[in-house]
Structure 1
């Protein structure tokens, strides 16, 4: 561990921190001097029950790695997609270290199906872990930071949410996952606007890396989780002051600022269109517009 790092003195929570991207983020934050709360429920790739909070759980193994390297970390094995689990996650950081500076929302799993084969349970489960699993810890952390700000204590808090190219462009066979990840972008924009007054910056990263979630569907990915973590660490540090409400894509050695919906070609008749006029105008505007990015898998 470096004697002084970018995150020296900061307390960082990483959800889904036991494997893949989350593990890489937790280790990278610790290497930069942060004290880390590693959350992981220990479930299988599809969310089925796994190792849980047992002594050999993924979260505890990462904590042991951090401690072996000279860092400081604690494990949390609760379900952050529940009110109780999200509250206990924030409480774990405060009880262990007396403060919270950064929340990295990363937990998730996949239940891929083509739309006509996608069951309601598969839809609900993916929405729950990705979207609700971002919302509940974010709300709990934001409430804490608001209280700190109102008490007159300086806050330089950071939230890094995890979206996906699937949520930005769509991905065949991943309607539930794509919808959840698109929702995370919307949540990021709102949270950034609402919590900035309390000293909180909220951004999102769309990572592309070889993990157990991507190795089957996207075998040609060049990057590994450790390639994404440097950007996440910077966004989670005080060095990212002034950067909020933005979405980045990170893969291998490439970082891209993703530009979302904004007004393109427009026409205003000044009165109500007929259906035929509306169609003719829409086709004209589409001819002037930038074509959308290709949906993954097409």
Structure 2
């Protein structure tokens, strides 16, 4: 079994979940009636054999999670948590269908399911941060044509590689106009899905949900105009392509480090939609911590002071 570095926040959350399961298991063994009430069920004649069985189950599950997280077994941890989410889901349904059960306990079981699914989502996306090397993307390219620092709007030209995409999101500070210079690009805009060819444009207004995706097997060259100009957007794009060039981004263009991804969304004023909105507070925390720790200053100095990344 090989180890793969787990981003520190995800590792800490996983360890806390594992320790929490150990606590719950121990409580079922040492204080079964209290544990039963905490689970959300109450019986006039408790079956202590059941408590012992559940206690051992939770201790075993907690140990597995703690060991995988502690030793950086990212994929086994991801699979264990994903498969294990069926346990709190079943617990929630059991409490729900039992007369006289505790509604608050049912909600706790449900929130545990959501927490596990979110954690699995980020564990599945995150990969270890590496140094530049052969894995670097030599096709990463961005050119800053006009900058808000020069008193104008922000205009950048960049390459979108096959398979590269963004999730649904929106911006509050500016509108965007995409112009395809070469290739083909799928752009989602509100309830529309557009297929842009060379010479065609699409404008995304402030607050309008959108995404783009290069579904072809060819590179797509586009020019994006941001109005009003936004320095953070310029820096985010330069940093993203710089990370990709150094092998620190996935094939879909997503920074491999969760903190770098949080900084990217912070810089370019990206706001998540749908289920991903639940992760917004975590991203805000990670971005704030990365800024205080000097990571943002480092990335700006390394990548965003250039006019071209290629």
TM interval, short-chain normalised: under 0.3
TM superposition score normalised by structure 2:
0.22
- Tell which structure's C-alpha radius of gyration is larger: 2
TM superposition score normalised by structure 1:
0.23
